Amino acid sequence: MDWYLPAAGSLFAVGLVLLLAEFFVPTGGMILVAAVACFAAAVGVLWLFGSTLEAVIATLGLSLGLPVAASVMFAGWRRMSLKSALDADAVDSTVGDLPEIAELEGLRGLTGKTLSPMRPAGMVMLDGRRVDAVSQGPMIDAGEWVKCVEVRGATVVVRRLDRQPELTDLAGGELELDV
């Protein structure tokens, strides 16, 4: 038996170990480059010192094996990744369960004043509460009357009112007086 067959086999084995290590140890592809270098060196040894049949078989095996291994590794990485568990539907369903978001939903339809310029985001006073909000439409100056038209998740959307609201608008339809 010639020396080049065990050398090429060892280089292939080291390449496989490095390929598996890249799957479990995220290095950004550095171990993957070393694995591909080992595979290339093994094929190179067979092309230089082996027979043509051995070299062709090794080249075809590598040409077919690497894409299959890459697709298996990519599918496994996606399955193990936390990102796949945090899709948009999962995030949207948990947002409604937060108590802070439920409190913001109570602001819908209320009227208040801007405390800072809305370009398009700023601070408004709604129901005696300072709230970060986003304007719907053009920018709004500080001190303008606004109405909460929508609550999207944790985002309060307000629109500028053309006229000053009536007292019944501010009290949500009921006027309460402190006596």
With respect to residue 175, please indicate whether it lies within any of the assigned structural domains.
no
| Cα dihedral 39→45→47→51 (10° resolution) | -120
Which residue bears the tokens 């609201």?
165
Do 108 and 54 lie in one domain? The reply is no
Distance, CA of 178 to CA of 139 (rounded, Å): 35
Q: What distance in Å separates the CA atoms of residue 131 and residue 150, rounded to the nearest whole number? A: 13
pLDDT of 178 above 80: no
The per-residue pLDDT for 142 is 93
Q: Could you tell me if residue 171 is inside a domain?
A: no
Q: Give yes or no: residues 52 and 112 share one domain.
A: no
Q: Among 30, 65, 84, identify where a domain stops.
A: 84
What Rg value do the Cα atoms of the chain yield, rounded?
A: 33
Q: Are residues 102 and 70 in the same domain?
A: no
Q: Examine the domain organization and report whether 79 and 37 are in the same domain.
A: yes
In a domain, 172, yes or no: no
Give a yes or no: residue 65 inside a domain: yes
Most confident range, picked from 58-72, 79-93, 109-123: 109-123
Please identify, among 31, 57, 84, the residue that sits at the C-terminal boundary of a domain.
84
Report whether pLDDT(75) > 50. Answer: yes
Q: Where in the sequence is the domain holding 162, given as residue range(s)?
A: 90-166
- List pLDDT tens digits, range 147-165: 999 998 888 999 999 887 7
79 with 95, same domain: the answer is: no
Evaluate if residue 81 carries a pLDDT over 70.
no
In percent, the amount of the chain with pLDDT more than 70 equals: 81
pLDDT at 173: 44
Q: Are residues 96 and 73 in the same domain?
A: no
How high is the mean pLDDT of the chain?
81
User: Which residue among 57, 84, 111 closes a domain?
Assistant: 84
Does residue 37 fall inside a structural domain?
yes
Whole-structure pTM value:
0.44
In this structure, the answer to whether residues 30 and 79 fall within a common structural domain is: yes
60 pLDDT exceeds 70? yes
Q: How confident is the model at residue 85, as a pLDDT?
A: 52
Interatomic CA distance for residues 51 and 60, integer angstroms = 14
For 87-128, the pLDDT digits (tens) are 544 544 545 556 777 788 889 989 999 999 998 899 999 988
Same domain for 94 and 76: no
Q: How many domains does the chain have?
A: 2
Per-residue DSSP letters for 88-119? HHHHHHHHTTSHHHHHHHTTTT-EEEESS-BS
